[in-house]
Amino acid sequence: MSARAMPVSNRAAWRVPALLVVLSLVPAAAGTARLVELARGAAVTVENARFFAHPLPVVLHVFAVIPFSILGAFQFAPAFRRRHRGWHRAAGRVLGVCGLVAALTGLWMAQFYPWPAGDGVGVYLERLVFGSAMVASMVLALDAVRRRDFAAHGAWMTRAYAIGMGAGTQVLTHLPWALLAHGKPSELPRAVMMGAGWVINVVVAEWIIRRGRRRLAHEPRGAARLPAAVRGPA
């Protein structure tokens, strides 16, 4: 590889982490705004009454989701991980804790908070299904790393990260409605747009995992490999 090609390759390798960080900014900003609202004792409205009634779950959720989404993005930079293996392992421990806290508090809020306007049974079931899938993925990822099955660990963490990043993609799936329709969506379109965000992420995650497996299958024996063989987060 020429000296000129290397910087281009490095820039290309950072595109995915950069896009993931950007994707996480809107929900991170919304979560931060919610924390500020709670800390300052803003006026209680129909939209935020559930958070003031039980603030701890949403506070834990926001504090878990922000580092989970941002640290997780850097796990998709293989060159960075190779150069900073200690950072990768330390970040992985933080991701494990934050991922479980984010998923479990998300399930608690889905189960016990009153439904906001526009949500219905469809969105409620989606939250339960994908939240439970995220918890299961995190547990399987932790079990895999305990068994030193790094390929399975990376695959399950990739799935968990994809589900956890659903809020970012849901901003995009709601854009057509925001641009073309008037007012807030009713229960059915809301469920479709929410579900689409999670489904898109899961499909992309499975594509990344399968692509990583095919790449490994074509690597020569004895070639240096990253511990998380699927090139996903760990």
**Does residue 117 surpass a pLDDT of 80?**
yes
pLDDT of residue 118: 85
Cβ(144)–Cβ(111) below 8 Å? no
Nearest to 91 by CA among 106, 78, 73: 73
> Would you tell me the crossing angle of helices 187-217 and 166-173 to the nearest 10 degrees?
120
pLDDT of residue 224: 41
Q: Give the pLDDT band (50/70/90) at residue 105.
A: very high
Q: Is 150 exposed, middle or buried (0-12, 13-18, 19+ CB in 10 A)?
A: middle
pLDDT of residue 127: 98
pLDDT of residue 227: 42
How far apart, in whole angstroms, are the C-alpha atoms of residue 88 and residue 56?
Answer: 29
- Per residue in 3-27, pLDDT (tens digit) is 444 454 566 677 888 899 999 898 8
- Per residue in 52-87, pLDDT (tens digit) is 999 999 999 999 999 999 999 988 887 777 787 788
pLDDT of residue 16: 84
How far apart, in whole angstroms, are the C-alpha atoms of residue 70 and residue 75?
Answer: 9
Cβ(201)–Cβ(166) below 8 Å? yes
Q: Which long-range contacts (CB under 8 A, 24 or more apart) does 46-53 make?
A: 46/117, 47/116, 47/117, 49/114, 50/113, 50/114, 50/116, 51/113
Written as six digits, the tokens of 61 are 């959720």
pLDDT of residue 7: 52
Instruction: Tell me the pLDDT of the chain averaged across its residues.
Output: 87
pLDDT of residue 5: 44
Cβ(197)–Cβ(170) below 8 Å? yes
**Does residue 159 surpass a pLDDT of 70?**
yes
End-to-end CA distance of the chain: 29
